[in-house]
Structure 1
Amino acid sequence: MKNNNGNTKLILLHPYIQKQAGIGTNRLWLLALVSFFTLAFLGTLIYSRDSILTSSSPPVSSAPSSSFPDKHVNNHNHQPLPATVINTLIHYTARSNYTYHMLQPDIKIVADVLRKCSVPCNFLVFGLTHETLLWKALNHNGRTVFVDENRYYAAYFEELHPEVDAYDVHYATKSSEMKELVATAKEQARNECRPVQNLLFSECKLGINDLPNHVYDVDWDVILVDGPSGEWPNHPGRMSSIFTAGVLARSKKGGNPRTHVIIHDYYREVERVCGDEFLCRENRVASTNMMGHFILERADPNTFEFCGKRDNRTSPTS
């Protein structure tokens, strides 16, 4: 290298500098190597932990055959309510100041049927009423579904009580049309209004076919008809709910072959006539002024008569 005077100078690199540069490079390689083995060790450790947890975890149970989206059902821990709790709930519900409520003897009919279920009951209720929360409570750990004519009230009730499963349905009938509708259903008993059928695909005017699909897949053990309204001629009346209850009971695929169907306000003409026509007198096991209690058997798919020729003196007992 030349200086300003044009003279050439020789610059020698000291061995110490070269040594320091070599040491820095070695340290970098060592650090990279240590980091690689550390990451490899952590990866192996995490993978081994996940494998152990997966192999030791119990298998996930399959969904029930009905595929019913009811997270409140507990079929594995059926603990019926103590009698004192049941009696207390009935006592205070029956003594409510609410104008339209069931009397204690009528509530007890439903409660006794639910109590006799050996497994959690599948309980279908037509009508959101003063007793709704009571029915939900009495069917402890069971599946309880409510069907109501008022879509806004059904949505409001579910929002107020998220544990309740409620659906709305549109009724295209009137109480004043009862005789014509019953006659037509009997005439079409071999076609659209068959006693055994999948109502989801039915065109029978008395058949309720617009509920969610999974409702039709459930084998209902108890059906309570306490809706829709039917006090006046222009009200929907309970022709459809009684007809539908009868078809659901006869069309069961599994479970208990018998279904309890209970009609409230049995003193009224629509309830009594439709009960006799579609649930049948020979299936009636008890009745009061307010309640009609029927037990229906699962029927053969080729059955085309709602009521058979059995001796009225022999009725089901359980």
Structure 2
Amino acid sequence: MALKGPTSHIYNLVIYLLKSQIPTVTELSDNPVSQLVLQLVSNSASTFPVKKMKAGITKLIVLHPPAVPASSPRVLLLGFISFFALASALTFFSAKDAVEGGGKPPAGIPQPVLEALVHYAAVANTTYLSSRMSSAEVGAVAAALRRCGNACNFLVFGLSHETLLWHSLNHGGRTVFVDESAYMVAKAEEKHRGIEAYDIQFTTKAAQLYHLLEHAKERGMKECRPVQNLLFSDCKLAVNDLPNHIYDVAWDVILVDGPRGYAPSSPGRMSAIFTAGVLARSKVGGEAETQVFVHEIGREVERVSSERFLCNANLVDLVDALGHFAVTKMDAANFRFCSPLMADE
């Protein structure tokens, strides 16, 4: 389902900016919207020349100095200023046209999108976060969300730098966040209305990876089976303390970007990956396949757990540090996560 009106421009521009991180040359037609963008950008970044071309075409030329990387705070900040100005202008002129035509003005930029813009513009000048996703990784998740139209059920393990982005890209659908920190969950819900997030206590440790995998293998026909209601599961890898209704949702997209997994004493993402695999295979209704993404899949815990519970045969793509799996529903009589020919079983 295609988005319409100013919201479609906002959606497309978010993806475009994140994928390209500002083009080398951007051409804007000579109209009031273009002039507003050019004026705002030139006032805030006078070092970037604006040249008037013949034939009524205005070009905004953004030059990247060789010493500054594409993702530098300076370039990102300029990009978001340009984006925010263009989005606001689109909304303004759409509202003006609607009023002159006798109709009601549109509601404007959706609140989740506005909050995301403000958030990412504010952090553009902060230090680099190694855990944030690359533009290619964000684009891969966004593409899966767009295939749902406006009714995507999106489950995210981990509150992260991209939280507001996921919430805004799935505007009109349902996005649920699960995190290990009760403080971070409370802060997110208090600061951003509309965020649905739950905190859970992970009892696992990354150092216990192979012990927990052996436990899951031994209990594979009982509490650790691939098709079950996790609410009643006694498997050590199962996330079973979420609100009851979460287990009844037919999730279209699941992203594992938490909990922490960078140290042996951290919880690790074995439970999140196991739970994603079970939810995808056990869901009732919705599409036959669930798109499951695992971030930082190059790390041992993420890689080994994904091979065991999401399966190499289901791997769709590897984009930088993001693994993309398409996991299909299974019959309750099936007790194997992966094909018996796979070495991980």
Asked if Structure 1 and Structure 2 have the same fold, meaning a TM-score greater than 0.5 normalized by the shorter chain, the answer is yes
Query: How do residues 136-151 of structure 1 correspond to structure 2 at under 5 angstroms?
Result: 136-151=167-182
Which residue in 2 is equivalent to 1:274? Answer: 305
**Offset of 1:118 from its aligned partner?**
4.0
**Offset of 1:101 from its aligned partner?**
1.3
Which residue in 2 is equivalent to 1:113? Answer: 144
Which residue in 1 is equivalent to 2:251? Answer: 220
Which residue in 2 is equivalent to 1:181? Answer: 212
Which residue in 1 is equivalent to 2:261? Answer: 230
Which residue in 2 is equivalent to 1:128? Answer: 159
**Offset of 1:287 from its aligned partner?**
1.2
Change in CA separation of 1:150 and 1:118 when aligned onto 2, cut-off 3 Å: same
Q: Which amino acid aligns with 2:249?
A: V
Rounded Cα–Cα distance in structure 2 between residues aligned with 1:81 and 1:129: 25
Find 1:86's aligned residue among 15, 23, 27.
15
Secondary structure of the residue aligned to 2:307 is helix
Secondary structure of the residue aligned to 1:299 is coil
Which residue in 2 is equivalent to 1:253? Answer: 284
- Structure 1 runs of 4+ aligned residues shifted over 3 Å read 76-82, 88-98, 309-312
* Contact 1:261–1:293 (CA under 8 A) maintained in structure 2: yes
**Offset of 1:102 from its aligned partner?**
1.1
Q: Which amino acid aligns with 1:196?
A: V
**Offset of 1:86 from its aligned partner?**
3.1
Rounded Cα–Cα distance in structure 2 between residues aligned with 1:259 and 1:310: 22
Change in CA separation of 1:252 and 1:81 when aligned onto 2, cut-off 3 Å: farther
| Deviation larger for 116-125 or 217-226 | 116-125
Change in CA separation of 1:119 and 1:160 when aligned onto 2, cut-off 3 Å: closer
Q: Which amino acid aligns with 2:135?
A: Q
**Offset of 1:310 from its aligned partner?**
7.3
* Contact 1:285–1:295 (CA under 8 A) maintained in structure 2: yes
| Deviation larger for 291-300 or 96-105 | 96-105
Find 2:237's aligned residue among 191, 206, 221.
206
Give the fraction of aligned pairs with identical amino acids, expressed as a percent.
52
Deviations 1:155-207 (A, max 9, x none): 11110112110100100000000011011101111000010000000000000
Change in CA separation of 1:161 and 1:178 when aligned onto 2, cut-off 3 Å: same
Rounded Cα–Cα distance in structure 2 between residues aligned with 1:134 and 1:151: 21
Normalization by structure 1: what TM-score?
A: 0.70
Rounded Cα–Cα distance in structure 2 between residues aligned with 1:226 and 1:85: 21
Rounded Cα–Cα distance in structure 1 between residues aligned with 2:321 and 2:247: 28
Find 1:167's aligned residue among 198, 202, 217.
198
Secondary structure of the residue aligned to 2:325 is strand
Secondary structure of the residue aligned to 2:139 is helix
Which residue in 2 is equivalent to 1:28? Answer: none
Structure 2: unaligned runs, 5 residues or longer: 22-75, 77-119
* Contact 2:140–2:319 (CA under 8 A) maintained in structure 1: no
Which residue in 2 is equivalent to 1:10? Answer: none
* Structure with greater Cα Rg: 1
Rounded Cα–Cα distance in structure 2 between residues aligned with 1:269 and 1:77: 39
* Contact 1:196–1:250 (CA under 8 A) maintained in structure 2: yes
Q: Which amino acid aligns with 2:265?
A: N
* Contact 2:18–2:138 (CA under 8 A) maintained in structure 1: no
Rounded Cα–Cα distance in structure 1 between residues aligned with 2:289 and 2:149: 13
Which residue in 2 is equivalent to 1:52? Answer: none
Rounded Cα–Cα distance in structure 1 between residues aligned with 2:321 and 2:8: 26
Which residue in 1 is equivalent to 2:27? Answer: none
**Offset of 1:309 from its aligned partner?**
4.5
Change in CA separation of 1:116 and 1:178 when aligned onto 2, cut-off 3 Å: same
Rounded Cα–Cα distance in structure 1 between residues aligned with 2:169 and 2:269: 24
**Offset of 1:293 from its aligned partner?**
0.4
* 1:306 has 2:235 as partner: no
Q: Which amino acid aligns with 2:161?
A: H
* Contact 2:317–2:323 (CA under 8 A) maintained in structure 1: yes
Which residue in 2 is equivalent to 1:244? Answer: 275
Rounded Cα–Cα distance in structure 1 between residues aligned with 2:202 and 2:183: 15
Secondary structure of the residue aligned to 1:294 is strand
Deviations 1:41-94 (A, max 9, x none): xxxxxxxxxxxxxxxxxxxxxxxxxxxxxxxxxxx9976744224323664559
* Contact 2:150–2:172 (CA under 8 A) maintained in structure 1: no
Which residue in 1 is equivalent to 2:68? Answer: none
